[in-house]
Amino acid sequence: MIGQLTGGVAHDFNNLLMVVQANLEALGAALPGQRTDCLHLLDNALSGVTRGAALTERMLAFARRQELAPAAVDVARLIEGMRDLLVRTLGPSVHVKTRIGHSVPPALVDAHQLEMALLNLAVNARDAMEGAGELVFAVALHAVPPGGTLAAGDYVRVRVSDTGSGMDSATLAKATEPFFTTKAVGDGTGLGLSMVHGLTEQSGGSFRLIERREGGITAEIMLPVADGVTGGIDDPAPFPPTETAATTGSSSHSRSARVLLVDDDALVLHGIARMLERFGHDVWKAPSGEAALQILIDEPAFDLLITDHAMPGMSGMELARTVRQRGFARGIVLSSGYAAAAEIADGELISAELRKPFAGKQLLAVVNRVLASV
């Protein structure tokens, strides 16, 4: 029930954020370049969109409904790759150390989500240490025997230990509950630890907090070993920069294309259409899958179809399947505020997927990539 509720909220909320994102970018593009005071206000508003999108991602993580891309991850290497980010985030008074066990195999997990989880734990530890102390990341291979709550087998165990003040028993018992926080109002959402818990559960592992005898807390993540895989991943991709009004106003594009855009939300439909038109594309709009099919019958010469997924009547995947069956051989991009992985399992039908809310540059990059391949 919580998962279904969270998925519905994420879909509607991300659609609202998409409207805000699109219109802020359009306003930023229309403002004279010298109006730096207005651009600063727009940047703040766009940052709010980014934070809102992150909030829905955390809600989906807690409900174990987020879309994951599990792969063989060399966790020790991933942590080393985060060192510079950790140092900048935590400050010079937090000393970061690593303890890596012998012959630790890769774990099966989504690398980017694991980075976010570890960063969440590190920030929480910094706050518990009041900005000064020692933070230790320990990675080891751990065999879980049968008979416990976690399935028997080999796991990669990641422990994040701080030298803070720790938690009393009441706080420790509630720490992973959603929206529970000991921080002041406005300083935290209370979803950080519940997000870590949701990620590990969805990945087939576990998460718990352990009070240290010497003071502080150890956060323990257990992740299943990636069986049959001998190598680790490449270096994780860096965190994407936040889009700003100054950077989203204009961008180069490869060529002008004829695009059929489909979305049942009129505000989203017009917002994304303005983004595409700003990049020089000829955009036709349809408010439903059925309307899009009629347009394709009358005007079949489109270079690209961009469709929302969750629409009444005909879903985006059903539209994609129908137009492919009718011989549409051009690119199809699926945009969604939230879609369960099972709903979009047939990757052969679509050329790319866009998760709402997305910035103009993200849309442009996907459009250019798909147009180049068709």
Report pLDDT digits (tens) over 354-371: 888 888 999 999 999 999
Q: Using the structure block, give the residue that is written with the tokens 């917002």.
A: 271
147 within 8 A of 110, measured Cβ to Cβ:
no
| pLDDT > 60? residue 189 | no
Q: What confidence tier does 42 reach under pLDDT thresholds 50, 70, 90?
A: confident
- For residue 32, the tally of other CB atoms under 10 A from its CB is 8
Give percent of the chain with pLDDT exceeding 70: 79
Averaged over 29-48, what is the pLDDT?
A: 78
Residues 6+ apart with CB under 8 A from 251: 279, 360, 361, 364
153 within 8 A of 108, measured Cβ to Cβ:
no
Q: What confidence tier does 234 reach under pLDDT thresholds 50, 70, 90?
A: very low
Q: Distance between CA 191 and CA 168 in Å, rounded? A: 19
Q: pLDDT tens, 67-99? A: 677 899 999 999 999 988 898 889 889 999 999
Q: Using the structure block, give the residue that is written with the tokens 């010298």.
A: 34
Helix axes 2-30, 266-278, angle to 10 degrees: 40
User: In the chain, which residues fall in CATH 3.40.50.2300?
Assistant: 2-56+241-373
Residue 194 has a pLDDT of 78
Residue 114 has a pLDDT of 92
Residue 242 has a pLDDT of 42
As a whole number of Å, the CA-based R_g of the chain is 23
Residue 157 has a pLDDT of 96
| pLDDT > 70? residue 124 | yes
Tokens of 27: 């306003």
The answer to which of 131-135, 299-303, 344-348 has the lowest mean pLDDT is: 344-348
364 within 8 A of 335, measured Cβ to Cβ:
no
Residue 232 has a pLDDT of 42
Tokens of 39: 């651009």
Q: How far does Cα 86 stand from its chain's mean position?
A: 19
User: What is the average pLDDT score of the chain?
Assistant: 82
Residue 314 has a pLDDT of 92
Averaged over 5-24, what is the pLDDT?
A: 82
Q: Which residue, 108, 136, 123, is CA-closest to 200? A: 108
Averaged over 182-192, what is the pLDDT?
A: 53
Residue 336 has a pLDDT of 85
Domain 75-224 CATH class label:
alpha beta
C-alpha distances out from residue 132 to 80, 92, 95, 123, 299, Å: 21, 8, 8, 12, 65
Pick 271 or 44 by higher pLDDT.
271
**Topology (CATH level 3) of domain 2-56+241-373:** Rossmann fold (3.40.50)
Q: Distance between CA 60 and CA 195 in Å, rounded? A: 8
Q: pLDDT tens, 246-255? A: 444 444 445 7
User: In the chain, which residues fall in CATH 3.30.565.10?
Assistant: 75-224
Which residue pairs from 234-240 have beta carbons closer than 8 angstroms and sit at least 24 positions apart in sequence? Answer: 235/77, 235/81, 236/78, 236/81, 236/82, 236/111, 236/112, 236/115, 237/112, 239/85, 239/115
DSSP, residue by residue, 184-236: PTTS--S-HHHHHHHHHHHTT-EEEEEE-TTSSEEEEEEEEB-TT--S---PP
